[in-house]
Amino acid sequence: MEPKGDIAVIGLAVMGQNLILNMNDNGFTVVAFNRTVSKVNDFLDGEAKGTNIIGAQSVEEMVANLKRPRKVMLMVKAGEVVDKFIEMVLPHLEEGDVIIDGGNSHFPDTIRRTKMLEEKGMLYIGTGVSGGEEGARKGPSIMPGGSPKAWPLVKDIFQAISAKTDSGEPCCDWVGENGAGHYVKMTHNGIEYGDMQLICEAYQLMKEGLGLSTDEMHEVFTEWNKGELDSYLIEITRDILGYKTEEGEVVVEQILDTAGQKGTGKWTGISSLDLGVPVTLIGEAVFSRCLSALKDERVAASKVLKGPGTSFEGDKKVFVKDIEKALLASKLVSYAQGYMLLREAAKEHGWNLNYGGIALMWRGGCIIRSTFLGKIKEAFENNPDLHNLLLDDWFKGVIDDCQASWRKVVQEAIRLGIPVPAFTTALAFYDGYRNPRLPANLLQAQRDYFGAHTYERLDKPRGEYFHTNWTGRGGNTSASTYTV
Ligand code: 2AM
Q: Which of 81, 88, 129 to mutate to test the pocket of ligand 1 (most atoms within 8 A of CB)?
A: 81
Size (the chain), residues: 484
Count the neighbouring beta carbons within 10 Å of the beta carbon of residue 106: 20
pLDDT score of 453: 97
pLDDT tens, residue by residue, 403-416: 999 999 999 999 99
- Alpha carbon distance 410, 402 (integer Å): 12
Is the link from the previous residue into 69 a cis peptide, with omega within 30 of 0? Answer: yes
104 lines ligand 1 (CB under 6 A): no
Q: What is the pLDDT of residue 484?
A: 52
**Quick one: which atom of ligand 1 is closest to the CA of 76?**
8
> What is the tens place of the pLDDT at every residue in 336-377?
999 999 999 999 999 999 999 999 999 999 999 999 999 999
Q: Which pLDDT score is estimated for 474?
A: 67
> Is 77 close to ligand 1, i.e. is its CB under 6 Å away?
yes
Ligand 1 close to Cβ of residue 12 (< 6 A): yes
Ligand 1: centre distance to CA 86 (Å): 13
Of 77, 84, 262, the residue with max ligand 1 atoms within 8 A of its CB, to mutate for a pocket test, comes to 77
The torsion defined by the Cα of 356, 359, 361 and 367, in degrees rounded to 10, comes to: 170
> Full-prediction pTM beyond 0.85?
yes
Which residues on adjacent β-strands are paired with residue 145? Answer: 126, 176
CA 269 to ligand 1 centroid distance, Å: 28
Q: Answer for the pair 477, 452: CB distance below 8 angstroms, yes or no.
A: yes
pLDDT tens digits, one per residue of 240-281: 999 999 999 999 999 999 999 999 999 999 999 999 999 999
Instruction: Return the pLDDT at 480.
Output: 64
What atom of ligand 1 comes closest to residue 75's alpha carbon?
7
List active site positions. Answer: 185, 192
Ligand 1 atom nearest residue 11's Cα? 10
Return the sign of the alpha-carbon dihedral for residues 69, 74, 75, 78.
Answer: negative
Tell me the pLDDT band of 440, cut-offs 50, 70 and 90.
very high
- Say if ligand 1 is within 6 A of residue 447 CB: no
Whole-number Cα distances in Å, 197 to 152, 202, 291: 38, 9, 12
